[in-house]
Amino acid sequence: MSDHAEISRLKMSYGWLSGLKSWWRMLVICLEERLAYRTDFALGTVMRFLPIVTQVFLWTAVFNASDRTDIAGYSRDNIVAYYLLAMITRAFSSMPGLAGGISRSIRDGSVKKYLIQPVDYIGFLLASRIAHKLVYYIVAMLPFVSVLFFCRSYFPPAPDGLTIAAYALSLVLSFLLGFFLEATLGMIAFWFLEVSSIIFAYMLFQYLLSGHMFPIDMLAGIPTGLAGVSLADVVRFLPFEYTAYFPAAVWLGKITGWELVAGLLIELTWLLVMIGVCRFVWWRGTKRYSGFGG
């Protein structure tokens, strides 16, 4: 091997190691930042369970008044389990403050430091978000386990190993999909400085179309005007259901067999599309970005 090739190899391995070190450093910084305000963080985590309580009582009241044993294929117990599972999915796919933070950094100019430093901004944000989630899971573990144990009677028997593996995969993909969806949204600020309304509008659609509000199956009876096509069929073409409905439905056994495989492949496709779109929007946005002042 020539000296030149050896130097290149060393440079490459050093570059790889250096990149890994940067990621680790970013992760540690973000962990420290999150843990600096522990009380606020713990309070925010525990409070997320409050809406579930309301939903349990609401659906119990609905079932009591209607004498029905199931609604859109969901029993009362199924619905409670669904909301809890959707909440677990949202713990992976929700990205509080991500889009708003990106748009703010573009608006106030602080994004320019990432343009001159040898740090990949999207990579930094991803590391930061992983740190955020790690701290969240540590803090949320106890309340989550307690609530799930307390509500265990609402759940059907645990699915088989393969379904659990598919469920875990769908959760990881939902985290990445949620991240790239919201990161792309925040970068719209390169074109429109004030994007808070756009972010809110997105959150609104996300809440409705992801299945966070109610199982998407409940839309199956609503026609769209197209023969044989219900509103649920239209919603299933969009990426949102993978950020709440899909993993929950997988665990509850509503999606099985080839339908499950197809669902995972569609989720993966949406993720790859969003990675591409996010990178493209960043590239185009930084091309037109102008930073003034010191």
Partner 1 sequence: MGRYFKIFSTFARACLVRDMTFRANFLLECLTSLGWMSMNLAFYLLIFSFTPEIGRNSGWSREPFFAFVATGLIINSIVQTLFMPSASELTEMVRTGGLDSVLVRPLDAQFLLSMHRFDFSSMANGIVGVALLVWSTSRFSVAPPLIAWFLYPVLIACGVAILYGLIIMLAAATILMGRNQSLYDFWFYITNFSRYPAEIYAGPWGGPLRMVCTFVIPILLVVNVPAGTIARPLSGNAWGMIFLTCAAAIISVGLSRIVFQAALARYRSASS
Residues at the interface with partner 1 (CB under 8 A): 37, 39-40, 43-44, 47-48, 50-51, 53-54, 57-58, 60-66, 68, 71, 194, 196-198, 200-201, 204, 207-208, 213-214, 218, 221
Up-side HSE of residue 180: CA atoms within 13 Å toward CB?
22
Identity of the residue, 52 or 268, whose beta carbon is nearer to partner 1 in the bound complex: 52
Q: Pseudo-torsion of CA 181, 183, 184, 186, nearest 10°?
A: 120
Q: Which is nearer to partner 1, 23 or 49 (CB)?
A: 49
Residue 238's identity, in one-letter code, is: L
Q: How far is the CB of 138 from partner 1 (least distance, A)?
A: 17
CB of 222 to partner 1, least distance (A): 8
Give whichever of 232 and 274 is closer to partner 1, judged by the CB atom.
232
Cβ proximity of 132 and 45 under 8 Å: no
CB of 217 to partner 1, least distance (A): 12
Instruction: Report in angstroms how near the CB of residue 80 gets to partner 1 at its nearest.
Output: 12
Closest to partner 1 by CB, 21 or 68: 68
